[in-house]
Chain A
Amino acid sequence: MTTIIVQPSGTEIHIEPGDTVLAGLQKAGYAYTVGCRRGGCGICKIDVLEGTFSYCRPVADTVISEQERSDGTCLSCRAVPTDDVTIQLRDASLRLANPLLGQINARARERAKAASTAPEEQ
């Protein structure tokens, strides 16, 4: 189970393995400022406060600098979390654009949490 925690609200979002941060948030019904969604414009950069991620596709050096590759800057349309991540958006607020998907994601998160904490059968 991978969870994105969005600060400062602490909103928890369950995402499927292999999904980018952007895909995870959008599949859960959330929206924020994004651009090309292809790693080219850098508008969707966020900060990862805790946790790790890797880029699923090549990203141009002009979009993510060497320093940004190590200071928690995350190009959310190309970054795939490798474990739970805590993020903060830049100059944009997280908006629940699709409440129906939000409810579905909340239930998926509860199921995943229950499965991960269930006692092993004897």
Chain B
Amino acid sequence: MGIMRMGYAHVRVTDMTEAKNHYASTLGLYETLEDTSPEGNKRVFYKGWDEWDHHSVVLEEGGVGVVKYGWKVENEADIEAIEKKAQTFGLTVERMAKGENPEVGDGIRFSTTSDHVFEVYHSQTAIGTEVGTHNPDPFPRHLVGVGVPALDHSLITCEDPKLMERLLMEVFDFYATERVQTSLDDDHDLVGTWLTSNNQIHQLAVIGGPQGKLHHFAFRLDDWSEVGHAADLLTMDDVSVDVTPTRHGITRGVTTYFFDPSGNRNEVFAGGYLAFPDRPTNVWTVDQLGQGIFYHARELNERFTSVLT
């Protein structure tokens, strides 16, 4: 099937001690490795309790914003197939050797038209979920903080969402579940697009904005009550909350946005309908963008499109 999921989000943080407190103690990710990057920056690797691979979040000290994303493919041969499609698209692809990222196998790396770095790989050291696979309990008994189970998706910005959408469709075989357009006419401009390769409502979303920027990366929760409980914990831990629990019109997911101690936006996200490639793409006109993003408030706050790292 090619791309199975966003395997990791690698982001920069300004203060590793504060960042570790946020990602480990408030969100409840499990630290799997601490090392120093080839450039000499401190790094910490994390996984969620329901993830089996070695890591899904990498923090690197020194700045803010996203360093790169890892995309895991189902079969070894998918790497070469995606390499060819990327080259056909016109991208410059380099090979990535096993160990360039700790516990990650061979793969490819390229810079997208949005100026984000993507890595595509097939193998990562398997650790196993915290509940195991033999007669597993539904969740670990001693979760810390929010206890997020897994990385879910990310939203990035770029100057040409239409081109980036085409890249994700042609190179990754993604399909769009939702779009925001300037009009319903054929000559519309694309304001934003939500894409996936499987039943997950979105794995990567792209909206117009500056090149190479991170809007947010999100963790998966089960339902409304978990999102509300997470928001309670965020306030208890004095986390800067961007948007209190609400629903998205786009994807129907329920959400809370907040900022890590360096200012990178995080989200906890639950729900969203099941995506299928043959389901007609939902289209939002830009005049309804407020309702599309924040279904109840029906208007964008001033931060949503301007605060990026």
Interface residues of A (CB under 8 A from B): 33-41, 43, 57-63
Question: Are B262 and A35 closer than 8 Å at their CB atoms?
Answer: no
Contact partners of B132 in chain A: CB under 8 A: none
Nearest CB in chain A: distance from B137 CB, A: 36
* Size bracket of the B interface: 20 to 34
Whether A40 contacts B262 in the complex (CB less than 8 A), given A60-B63, A61-B63, A63-B64, comes out as yes
Question: Are B14 and A43 closer than 8 Å at their CB atoms?
Answer: no
Whether A40 contacts B264 in the complex (CB less than 8 A), given A35-B303, A35-B306, A63-B64, comes out as yes
Contact partners of B306 in chain A: CB under 8 A: 35, 41, 43
Contact partners of A41 in chain B: CB under 8 A: 263, 306-309
Question: Are B263 and A40 closer than 8 Å at their CB atoms?
Answer: yes
Contact partners of B62 in chain A: CB under 8 A: 60
Query: Which of B12, B15, B64 has the most A CB atoms < 10 Å from its CB?
Result: B64
Extra pairs beyond A36-B307, A40-B14, A41-B263 (5, CB < 8 Å): A40-B64, A40-B259, A40-B263, A40-B309, A62-B63
Q: 8 Å CB contacts to A: which residues of B3-46?
A: 12, 14-15, 18
For the residues of B in contact with A, the DSSP-based class is loop
Question: Are A36 and B309 closer than 8 Å at their CB atoms?
Answer: yes
Contact partners of B260 in chain A: CB under 8 A: 38, 40
Whether A62 contacts B303 in the complex (CB less than 8 A), given A35-B263, A37-B240, A40-B264, comes out as no
Question: Complex: how many Å from CA A36 to CA B18?
Answer: 15
Interface residues of B (CB under 8 A from A): 12, 14-15, 18, 62-65, 240, 242, 259-265, 302-303, 306-309
Question: Are A35 and B15 closer than 8 Å at their CB atoms?
Answer: no
Nearest CB in chain B: distance from A50 CB, A: 27
Question: Are A37 and B64 closer than 8 Å at their CB atoms?
Answer: no
Query: Which of A33, A37, A38 has the most B CB atoms < 10 Å from its CB?
Result: A38
Whether A60 contacts B64 in the complex (CB less than 8 A), given A37-B240, A38-B260, comes out as yes
Contact partners of B240 in chain A: CB under 8 A: 36-38
Question: Complex: how many Å from CA A43 to CA B309?
Answer: 11
Question: Complex: how many Å from CA A34 to CA B242?
Answer: 10
Question: Complex: how many Å from CA A41 to CA B64?
Answer: 9
Contact partners of A60 in chain B: CB under 8 A: 12, 14, 62-65, 262
Question: Complex: how many Å from CA A57 to CA B15?
Answer: 8
CB < 8 Å neighbour of A36 from B12, B63, B242, B302: B242
Question: Are B309 and A57 closer than 8 Å at their CB atoms?
Answer: no
Query: Which of A37, A40, A63 has the most B CB atoms < 10 Å from its CB?
Result: A40
Question: Are B65 and A36 closer than 8 Å at their CB atoms?
Answer: no
Question: Complex: how many Å from CA A41 to CA B240?
Answer: 13
Question: Are B263 and A36 closer than 8 Å at their CB atoms?
Answer: yes
15 CB contacts below 8 A, A to B, read: A36-B263, A37-B240, A38-B259, A38-B262, A39-B14, A41-B263, A41-B308, A43-B306, A43-B307, A58-B14, A60-B14, A60-B62, A60-B262, A62-B63, A63-B64
Question: Complex: how many Å from CA A62 to CA B67?
Answer: 13
Nearest CB in chain A: distance from B100 CB, A: 24
CB < 8 Å neighbour of B64 from A33, A34, A43, A62: A62
Q: Which residue of A lies closest to B306 (CB)?
A: A43
Q: Which residue of A lies closest to B303 (CB)?
A: A35
Contact partners of B242 in chain A: CB under 8 A: 36
Query: Which of B14, B15, B259 has the most A CB atoms < 10 Å from its CB?
Result: B14
Contact partners of A36 in chain B: CB under 8 A: 240, 242, 259, 263-265, 303, 307, 309
Question: Are B14 and A57 closer than 8 Å at their CB atoms?
Answer: yes
Question: Are B259 and A37 closer than 8 Å at their CB atoms?
Answer: yes
Question: Complex: how many Å from CA A43 to CA B259?
Answer: 14
Question: Are B63 and A39 closer than 8 Å at their CB atoms?
Answer: no
